[in-house]
Amino acid sequence: MQRLLALLVLVIGLALAQAPAYPENTVGVGFGIGRGLVVQGSTGLPFSPLGIDTGLDMEVVVPTSFNALEVWALFKANLLPALTVADLSLSAGLGLDMSFNTVGSIFGVHLGPVASLEIPGGAISGYVGLGIEGGFNLAYGLAGRLYLDPVALEVGLSDRYPFKIALLYLW
């Protein structure tokens, strides 16, 4: 019963995430329902203080009306890269996200945990952060990726869009 409860807590925690906790090199394009075109990419950062993997994920959202722009960046540190849950790999870390929306010139910053659970052929990732964006705010995201090397199909949701689908190229 305790293992089932621990797995349930983990899944609920992952439901508040988005980008993988571990660094990946990707570039892609997608569409966010209610938001518009999403151009995204990620990379591992060249510096690793104390041997910790660090990475950067970025998204640029261009609304279908082309009257605004939103830029989002997530700096992350993979603090616990080698956990296992029921023979599945789990990574957990800390993320700092920053965003800027040209409509109203709103700047936001959030800090919180990032986690990824690798499943056969894919990954489920999550993020939740507390911060400020036009006032006190909660940022969250949940995404699932299906890896078909060298591409991945990503489906996600977050506080920035209710649903997003994207095609990513990985190297």
Residue 80 lies in a domain: yes
* Cα–Cα nearest to 70, from 104, 109, 101: 101
Summarised one tens digit per residue, pLDDT across range 1-31 is 666 555 544 444 444 445 666 778 999 999 9
Question: How far apart are the C-alpha atoms of 104 and 102, rounded to whole Å?
Answer: 6
Neighbouring residues of 113: CB distance < 8 A, sequence distance ≥ 6: 13, 92, 93, 94, 95, 127, 128
Give the three-class secondary structure for 160. Answer: coil
Domains identified in the chain, total number: 1
Summarised one tens digit per residue, pLDDT across range 125-149 is 999 999 999 889 999 999 999 999 8
pTM recorded for the entire structure: 0.82
Lowest mean pLDDT, pick from 48-52, 80-84, 160-164, 165-169: 48-52
Alpha helices by DSSP H, 15-95: none
Backbone angles phi, psi at 161, to 5 degrees: -155, 145
Structure tokens at 42: 């990620």
Residue 5 lies in a domain: no
- Is residue 150 reached through a cis peptide bond, with omega within 30 degrees of 0 on the bond before it? yes
CATH code (residue 159): 2.40.160
Structure tokens at 162: 């209710």
Residue 113 lies in a domain: yes
Residue 38 lies in a domain: yes
Residue 51 lies in a domain: yes
Q: Is the predicted pLDDT of residue 65 greater than 80, yes or no?
A: no
Domain membership of residue 115 as a residue range: 22-170
User: What is the percent of the chain with per-residue pLDDT over 70, rounded to a whole number?
Assistant: 87
